[in-house]
A and B are shown apart, each in its own frame.
Chain A
Amino acid sequence: MPRFAAFRVGPRTLAIDVDHILGFTREPVWTRLPGARPGVVGICNWRGEVCPLVDMGQLMGVEGSGGPWACVTASGAGMMAILADSVIGLEHGEPTPVDEDVFSGTYAADDGERFVLSLEEVARLCAT
């Protein structure tokens, strides 16, 4: 069964395939990127590499997340850090595909539903 890293953004719990996770960092060091799309907070430093810092709360139209955590990912869309209110951890899930904006599927966990992020779709929405 696939493994996911789960974290909270406002009222939603998001999940990302663990193969795409580089790590979590608290209070990432970042700078604003003038002219970026709403949802792109700026660029941040992840172990010497610069990557986009994304606020999924803005992209989903929900309150939060302004951090303090960031989930750093790498996929075909490149590196990207996604702000999170809190980190739940690693868990197994069997997602059911959905066709909903930035989500590729959902699965149920003990404490509620998980929304599996499509990193490529997030990157597409954030691209300038």
Chain B
Amino acid sequence: MNIGDMLPDYLDEARKMVSGLAEVSYGLEENPDCLKEAMRLFHTLKGSSGFMGFDSVCEFCHLAEEAISGMKEVPEGFPQFLRALSSTLSDIMDGIESSGAELPSVREALAPFSRGFAGADFTGVTGQARSVLDETGLRLSAERLDTMLSLIGQVEVLKNRLASQTHRLPTDVVRAFHDLELNLDALRDQVMGLRMVDMGRYFRGLRAVVSEMADQMGKEVDFQTTGGEVRVDRVVAEGIMEALTHLLRNALDHGVESPDERESAGKARAGMVTLAISQEGNRVLITVSDDGRGVNMDRLRARALEDFGRDMTRAELLSLLFRHGFSLTKETTRYSGRGVGLDVVKEAVDRLGGSVSLDTAEGRGMTVTLDLPLTVLVTRLCFVRIGNEVFGLPLSSVARVDWRDDLEVVSPAGRQFVKTEERALALVDAGRVLGLSSDGEMILTLRSGTEDFCLAVDEVLPESDAVVKPLGEMFSGQKQFVGSVIGADGVPVLVMDPGYLVDQGGENA
């Protein structure tokens, strides 16, 4: 057997080490002991790379191992540094696979990380080092990839403009246009695929977090994961990781009981915590569930009465758990009880344009479901007219559309609500929030985070896919908008943030 025959096994093992580094980086934020695991991963990768003759990787791993062995605590920026490094090493492995050798550019790609380890400065490397490889082994920076996607988005805008004019074109031109449309969709999917990652790459780090917390709390936990093969946009995966850590922390701290307590309740001594990931069309559903004590609804109701002076529906009560500063636990532990946790989850989900729901049964556990887009690059938007202006809204946040006349709108104490059989939803006047003159004849029921609310607009227009771009630094204070898109007629369209609107509901309804 020659060295070349061993390449597949080397790559298989090396990729595990590399994805392990990304996973460990999440563990580091909770548990400095994960440094030892990082050192072990570098040590193993050093050995196998040296054996294969991949000297640049080998020497780099030696430097990393040495540097980490001298660390007493996790340096500032190190988890992010490690994630960027994992991404670069992953690209290097792709390059080795396609060329069968260590490319000369490997040393150059690792240079910023070598400087980071040598100077013990781990800040500022995160963005510049991220790169991806296409299948020909060409190096492509993440920024360049985003530029390509942006250009594809612009071509899609032009395509949509043409699509509205096809009735004026000869048949053969229309046929060519449809071929162009198909090819453009395929091109977009291919380029977007370069940004997608397996969710499974993060499982090991989360498992380390669960294991560490269970040990600290004296609890026994059986942690199950499913759906690691689901591929999502790297931005979504990394944007939700802190929230997942919080959910697991809550499951262990508030949910799973001590082994003795569980035994006396007729349960297995080890609590079950499950992280399940599945794909539903262009959405990813992430469920964190436990079979612990669940939420005591009587206590929650009493606490709500104490804090807000009124009785609430079950949905309203459960949504309180996502409010900043709200905690049912009076004492704080190292892990929870400060009223932060689920609000962090909601914020992360809002940022990514998703929603979160919670279900619980006392004594049987709790399930939190995050519903997120697979990618944040292309968003399906619903367009609405408010006064003379057109705005976009993420379609995922729109639950239903009604005529105002078909709904029962009540106005107790100057606030407007839409009354249904089960509940009363705050009605937000979009025109008033945006300072526009509006009749508000159509009512959208929107879901933001955990809260449903209604939004009065003048007209609902056809939906479409669009690449939403941020408004830029100059308008960073414009919280009512998540960004803008170019409409089919070339006019920029502002995309509203449902999370901001629901916050305005109380004041403007």
Chain A contact residues, CB within 8 Å of chain B: 29-36, 42-45, 47-52, 77-80, 123, 126-128
- Is B469 located at the chain interface by the 8 A CB criterion? yes
- Closest 4 interchain pairs by CB? A48-B154, A34-B434, A128-B477, A31-B492
- 179-232 of chain B: CB within 8 A of chain A: none
In the complex, the answer to whether A34 meets B435 with C-beta atoms within 8 Å is yes
Contacts A78-B473, A128-B477 given; does A32 touch B389 at CB 8 Å: yes
* List of B residues within 8 angstroms of A43 by Cβ: 471, 484, 492, 494
Q: Which of B474, B476, B486, B494 neighbours the largest number of chain A CB atoms within 10 Å of its CB?
A: B474
In the complex, the answer to whether A127 meets B474 with C-beta atoms within 8 Å is yes
Contact of A45 among B389, B471, B491, B494 (CB under 8 A): B491
Give min CB distance, A21 to chain B, whole Å. Answer: 18
- Is B308 located at the chain interface by the 8 A CB criterion? no
* List of A residues within 8 angstroms of B484 by Cβ: 43, 50
Q: Is chain B's binding surface mostly helix, strand, loop or mixed? A: mixed
Contacts A31-B493, A31-B494 given; does A127 touch B469 at CB 8 Å: no
Question: What are 12 A-B pairs at a CB distance below 8 A?
Answer: A29-B490, A31-B492, A31-B494, A33-B471, A35-B435, A36-B478, A45-B486, A52-B475, A78-B472, A78-B474, A127-B474, A128-B478
* List of A residues within 8 angstroms of B494 by Cβ: 31, 33-34, 43
In the complex, the answer to whether A29 meets B474 with C-beta atoms within 8 Å is no
Q: How many residues on the B side are at the interface (Cβ–Cβ under 8 A)? A: 28
- Is B366 located at the chain interface by the 8 A CB criterion? no
Give min CB distance, B491 to chain A, whole Å. Answer: 5
* List of B residues within 8 angstroms of A123 by Cβ: 474
**Chain A residue nearest in CB terms to B489:** A29
In the complex, the answer to whether A50 meets B469 with C-beta atoms within 8 Å is yes
**Chain B residue nearest in CB terms to A78:** B472
**Chain A residue nearest in CB terms to B154:** A48
Contacts A43-B484, A45-B492 given; does A127 touch B154 at CB 8 Å: no
How far apart sit A48 and B153, CA to CA, in the bound complex (Å)?
9
- Is B425 located at the chain interface by the 8 A CB criterion? no
Q: Using A45-B492, A78-B473, A127-B476 as known contacts, list a sample of 12 further A-B pairs with CB atoms less than 8 Å apart, ordered by residue number in A.
A: A30-B491, A31-B491, A32-B389, A36-B478, A43-B471, A45-B490, A48-B153, A48-B157, A48-B486, A50-B471, A52-B475, A78-B474
How far apart sit A44 and B490, CA to CA, in the bound complex (Å)?
9
How far apart sit A89 and B478, CA to CA, in the bound complex (Å)?
35
Cβ proximity bits B377-391 to A, threshold 8 Å, 1 near / 0 not: 000000000000110
Cβ proximity bits B227-240 to A, threshold 8 Å, 1 near / 0 not: 00000000000000
How far apart sit A42 and B493, CA to CA, in the bound complex (Å)?
11
